[in-house]
Amino acid sequence: MVAFTYLAVALSAVARSLAAPAADPNADAPDFELNGDRLMCRQDYNQNYKTSGNVNFSPTNNGYSVTFSGAGDFVVGKGWRTGTTRSITFDGATTASAGTVLVSVYGWTTNPLIEYYVQEHTSNGAGSAQGQKVGTVTCDGSVYDIWKHQQVNQPSIQGTSTFWQYISNRQTKRPGSGTVTTSCHFDAWKALGLNLGTHNYQTLSTEGWGNAGGNSKYTVSGS
C-alpha cells in the first residue's frame, strides 16, 4: 500500500501491510463545544482506506457509518488529528457477517514510533492482537489483555520502518456503546515499559479484512 494525499490511515497485522496518513486539506480546524457541563473537542479527522471489495463509508460531523462486503482490507473512522489522553465515548453498533472485523480506539505516536489499539470489538476474539501478551488492565470496568508486537520494515506514518504495536484487547467484546478512558490504557502500558511518544492522529475506527462483511454506525465524542 502507498500513502494517500487526501484521507488515509495506518493499519497493520501479521498478514497485512500499512498505509501512512496524510493531512486532509478539507478538514475544519479543531474547535470545542459545550455538552452539558463538559467541554468537548470536535472531531477533525476522517479515516477512509480500502484495498478491495465493497466499502461504503459515510462520515458525519460527529461520527460515521459504513457498510461492507467482500472487503479484502479496509479501515474507516472518525477522530482527531492529534491524539491525547482524552476519554472517548461512542454510541452505535457493529454487525459482522464474514471475515475479521474490529472496532478500536486507534492511533500513532512518534519518538518513539508506535501504532496502538484499544480493541472494543473483535469478531474473532483477537483482531490485531498478536506477538507477546505482557499483562492485563481493568479500565472503565472492563478487563483487557495487553499485547506488544514488533513490525519489522513495514510501512508507517514515517515511511518503511521498524516499530512496536501496543494493543489492549477487551476480553468481552463490545460492539455497541461505551467509553474508553485512554489514559488508563496509556498508564498501564507505561507501567509495563511500553512508552508512547508524541501523539499523531487518534480515532474510533471500524476495520476489516479477509472478505469482511457487515456494517457499523457510530457517533463519537471526546473530552
Tell me how far apart the alpha carbons of residues 39 and 76 are, in angstroms, rounded to a whole number: 26
The answer to whether 212 touches 100, Cβ cutoff 8 Å, is yes
Cα dihedral: 93, 101, 164, 49 (round 10): -90
Bond preceding residue 155 cis, omega within 30 of 0: no
Which is the catalytic residue, given 71, 106, 207, 218? Answer: 207
Active site residue 207: yes
Taking alpha carbons only, the member of 182, 196, 216 closest to residue 75 is: 216
Burial class (CB in 10 A: 0-12, 13-18, 19+), 61: exposed
Q: How far apart are the first and last CA of the chain?
A: 33
Quickly list DSSP for 67-119.
EEEEEEEEEEEEEESS--S-EEEEEEEEEEEEEEEEEEEEEEEETTTEEEEEE
Taking alpha carbons only, the member of 99, 108, 191 closest to residue 146 is: 191
Give bridge partners of residue 182 from the DSSP assignment: none
Which is the catalytic residue, given 44, 73, 115, 120? Answer: 115
Active site residue 33: no
And the C-alpha cell for 70?
A: 467482500
Task: Return the active site residues.
Answer: 115, 207
